[in-house]
């Protein structure tokens, strides 16, 4: 009898349950008596031995349910090799629970940090299959991650709502979109929401360019402007600093986030009134959009097929619309970032969108 452990790790997203359902339903078709262990709260459950045995009924009715039915937590990869506060060796503890429970494979759903630990476990000879989860769409080795499209819809909706009020009041509005290191979500929501200025971590901005773009709009008779700003947007000046210098500068920074700093600078430079909206964790909440439900079901089925074939050590990803297994060693430790020279950026610039560069 097969025993499979499911684990969801890192920040959640809308489509985790839909993905687990895809894996489970496909496994139950082939192995009606498969035992699924729901490992609770991500790697924490694997380290401390917390799980619950799942039943087929646990996977019914969850296609449209956001969050994760087995909980999640952030367990930083860089601390995995460090003992916990009681001296417990976390990696050994995970290996030992895996063996104690008699698992044939771990199915791990997560983002970048999660993949580093998944690769570590695979290198430690555990059987691992992973699935690419994140609203950030920044996992290397896959064109798309599940959760991304649902978050794009929410962030776009936030910009859409802002549009009507911005037009009535003749103001500048900033919508801050999630994404500390990468700007996929801001880029897609910004284009979809018709933002005039999009600022991404990958394209450091010059406030002069931002102000020039706003002035141009005013001269053209435009009553309002909307900026889609990634959480991790960074000025050219700050991007030129060393990590240490940047850390020290940020300690002194009085603003709650980059949008507030940009907003203040815009007000001072243009005299226009600025308002800031931060949809925050709403972007990870609610139900998965139909597109995510489809890719989650497909990726889940593909992950189950790998398990059936006993092909371990892979993430299932999308390449040009097809599902491909990608070796974990290739995925771990890399980020898929927005290329400033890519066609999507060129097309957006062609539409007149300013990226502050
Ligand atoms: O990794 C997804 C993400 O939503 C990022 O876009 C965001 O910066 C971060 O998680 C927020 O993390 P937390 O759940 O720790 O607030």
| Residues 282-324 pLDDT 10s | 999 999 999 999 999 999 999 999 999 999 999 999 999 999 9
Predicted local confidence at residue 60, as pLDDT: 97
Q: How far is the CA of 178 from the centre of ligand 1 (A)?
A: 7
The mean pLDDT value for 12-32 works out to 97
Residue 83, Cα to own-chain centre: how many angstroms?
A: 28
The yes-or-no verdict on residue 3 having pLDDT over 90 is: yes
Number of the ligand 1 atom closest to the C-alpha atom of 178: 6
Burial of residue 91 (CB within 10 Å: 0-12, 13-18, 19+) is middle
Please give the model's pTM, rounded to 2 decimal places. Answer: 0.96
For residue 169, name the pLDDT band (cuts at 50, 70, 90). confident
- Condensed to tens digits (0 to 9), the pLDDT of residues 344-356 reads 999 999 999 999 9
Predicted local confidence at residue 168, as pLDDT: 87
Q: How far is the CA of 14 from the centre of ligand 1 (A)?
A: 13
* Mean pLDDT, rounded, of the chain: 97
Predicted local confidence at residue 87, as pLDDT: 97
Number of the ligand 1 atom closest to the C-alpha atom of 135: 2
Predicted local confidence at residue 219, as pLDDT: 95
Probe residue for ligand 1, chosen from 74, 136, 137, 150 as the CB with the greatest number of ligand atoms within 8 Å: 136
261 Cβ closer than 6 Å to some ligand 1 atom? no
284 Cβ closer than 6 Å to some ligand 1 atom? yes
180 Cβ closer than 6 Å to some ligand 1 atom? yes
Report the chain's C-alpha Rg in angstroms. 22
Number of the ligand 1 atom closest to the C-alpha atom of 179: 6
The mean pLDDT value for 247-267 works out to 96
């Amino acid at each position: 009898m097969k025993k499979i452990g499911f684990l969801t790790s890192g920040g959640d997203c809308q489509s985790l349950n839909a993905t687990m359902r895809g894996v489970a339903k496909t496994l139950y078709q082939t192995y009606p008596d498969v035992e699924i262990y729901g490992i609770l709260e991500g790697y924490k459950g694997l380290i401390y031995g917390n799980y619950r045995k799942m039943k087929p009924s646990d996977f019914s009715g969850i296609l449209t349910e956001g969050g994760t039915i087995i909980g999640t937590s952030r367990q930083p990869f860089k601390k995995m090799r460090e003992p916990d506060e009681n001296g417990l060796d976390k990696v050994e503890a995970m290996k030992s629970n895996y063996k104690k429970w008699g698992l044939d494979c771990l199915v791990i759903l997560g983002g970048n940090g999660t993949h580093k630990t998944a690769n570590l476990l695979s290198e430690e000879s555990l059987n691992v299959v992973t699935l690419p989860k994140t609203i950030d769409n920044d996992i290397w080795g896959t064109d798309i991650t599940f959760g991304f499209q649902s978050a794009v819809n929410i962030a776009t909706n936030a910009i859409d709502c802002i549009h009507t009020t911005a037009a009535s009041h003749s103001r500048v509005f900033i919508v801050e979109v999630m994404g500390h290191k990468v700007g996929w979500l801001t880029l897609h929501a910004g284009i979809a929401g018709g933002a005039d200025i999009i600022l991404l971590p990958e394209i450091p901005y010059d406030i002069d360019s931002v102000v020039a773009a706003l002035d141009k709009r005013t001269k053209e008779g435009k009553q309002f402007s909307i900026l889609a700003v990634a959480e991790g947007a960074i000025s050219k000046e700050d991007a030129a600093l060393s990590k240490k210098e940047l850390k020290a500068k940020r300690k002194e920074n009085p603003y709650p986030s980059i949008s507030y700093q940009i907003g203040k600078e815009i007000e001072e430079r243009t005299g226009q009134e600025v308002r800031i909206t931060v949809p925050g964790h709403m972007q990870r909440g609610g139900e998965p959009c139909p597109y995510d439900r489809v890719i989650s079901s497909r990726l889940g089925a593909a992950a189950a097929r790998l398990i059936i074939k006993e092909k371990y050590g892979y993430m299932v990803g999308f390449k040009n619309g097809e599902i491909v297994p990608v070796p974990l060693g290739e995925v771990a430790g890399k980020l898929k970032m927005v290329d400033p020279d890519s066609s999507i950026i060129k097309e957006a610039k062609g539409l007149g969108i300013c990226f502050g560069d």
